[in-house]
Amino acid sequence: MLHSSLFWKKHFEHNITKQRVDWNQPPHITQFEKENILYSLKAWQLGETSDGKHLLAAATKYAARINDPVYPEAVKLFIKEEQKHGNNLGKYIDQLGEKRMKKDWGDTLFRKIRYLNTSMELWTITVIIVESAAQVFYQALHDATSCALLKEICTDILIDEAHHIKFQNERMFMIFQQKKFYNKAISIGLYALLFFLTIHAIWFGHGKALQAGKVSKKDFMRQMYYKFFKSMQFLHAPHADEQRAFEYKEARVLF
Ligand SMILES: [Fe+2]
Ligand SMILES: [Fe+2]
């Protein structure tokens, strides 16, 4: 099913009002848990704090081309939700009395790619891959700790991320449908290459924390392949009639 940008805008506006974390409880994390997960927790916190300037610029340019002025507003709210994740994780790190991370190789690499990237397609596929990994990572973090506060933070993120993937999969479908047959085939190959490189970089950086949450390398790769396969399947599903239907509806609103 495909949703309009207005639907997503309303979804994000509503979702941000949900308070799912009880900050009255103190953090309880053992030394053993800290050794396994703290580095990754700090690195993902840093990754969630981007100002989203480049993504918003790409979305604004793209939206002007397809005449969808509401899309950048939805993207702005999506970025705000990611920043909420960064703020919650940051607040948790502060409450532990730990220092927040300022620099991390994975974050630096990703920021460089973001800086150079002005294509909505590349943005969307990258976000889909990273969000899919985030789902596995935050579930592992949830399972790797006995701290009720951290578990609630992870659950809140997991609820948001499920919608983020839907939001991005739908956009990816719309972009993909504009391509001709050979272009589609080449694109799938490039997405798969990007996917392959990203999941190995994530395992290299965060395998220890994932294993602490009982996710072995084999489990991680299997879960990631399944999620990627689902996203690729979504690109090929017959949503074209629905897309035409709501393009028609939105066109009627516009004119
Ligand atoms: Fe996030
Ligand atoms: Fe997300």
pLDDT in tens, 37-90: 999 999 999 999 988 898 999 999 999 999 999 999 999 999 999 999 999 999
The ranges assigned to domains in the chain are: 5-11+29-254
pTM of the entire structure?
Answer: 0.90
Nearest listed ligand to the Cα of residue 83: 1
Torsion of CA 139, 140, 145, 151, to 10 degrees: -10
Q: Can you tell me the distance from the alpha carbon of 160 to that of 140, in angstroms, rounded to the nearest whole number?
A: 16
Instruction: Give 242 Cα–ligand 1 centroid separation in angstroms.
Output: 28
Question: pLDDT tens-digit profile of 200-248?
Answer: 999 999 999 999 999 999 999 999 999 999 999 999 887 656 665 555 5
For every residue of the chain, DSSP letters joined together read ----HHHHHHHHHHHTT-----TTSPP---HHHHHHHHHHHHHHHHHTT---HHHHHHHHHHHHHHT-TTHHHHHHHHHHHHHHHHHHHHHHHHHHTPPPP---HHHHHHHHHHHH---HHHHHHHHHHHHHHHHHHHHHHHHH---HHHHHHHHHHHHHHHHHHHHHHHHHHHHHHTS-HHHHHHHHHHHHHHHHHHHHHHHHHHHHHHHHTT--HHHHHHHHHHHHHHHHHHHHSS-HHHHHHHHHHHHHHH-
- Considering every ligand atom, which ligand is closest to the CA of 164? 2
Pick the closest to residue 138 from 102, 89, 91, 80 (CA basis).
89
Going by pLDDT thresholds of 50, 70 and 90, the confidence category of residue 112 is confident
Ligand 1 centroid to Cα of residue 236, in Å, is 26
Q: Is the pLDDT of residue 6 over 50?
A: yes
Q: Which ligand is nearest to the CA of 157?
A: 1
User: Ligand 2 mean position to 183 CA, how many Å?
Assistant: 28
Q: Read off the pLDDT of each residue in 122-139 and give the average, rounded to a whole number.
A: 96
Domain 5-11+29-254 has CATH 1.20.1260.10: yes
* 129 Cα–ligand 2 center, Å: 10
pLDDT score, position 247: 56
User: What integer pLDDT is reported at residue 249 of this predicted model?
Assistant: 53
- What average pLDDT does the chain have? 91
Mean pLDDT to the nearest integer, 8-27: 96
Q: Counting beta carbons within 10 angstroms of the beta carbon of residue 233, is it exposed (0 to 12), middle (13 to 18) or buried (19 or more)?
A: exposed
> How far apart are the CA of 207 and the centre of ligand 2, in A?
20
Query: What was the pLDDT predicted at 244?
Result: 59
Residues 81-100: what's their mean pLDDT? Answer: 97
pLDDT, tens digit (0-9, with 9 covering 90-100), for 159-172: 999 999 999 999 99
- Alpha carbon of 11 to ligand 2 centroid (Å): 14
In this prediction, residue 246 carries a pLDDT of 56
Q: How far is the CA of 252 from the centre of ligand 2 (A)?
A: 32
Q: What is the pLDDT of residue 51?
A: 85
Ligand 1 centroid distance, CA of 110 (Å): 14
User: Exposed, middle or buried by CB within 10 Å (0-12, 13-18, 19+), for 140?
Assistant: buried
pLDDT bracket for residue 251 (50, 70, 90): very low
Helix crossing, 120-144 with 217-236: angle to 10°?
Answer: 140
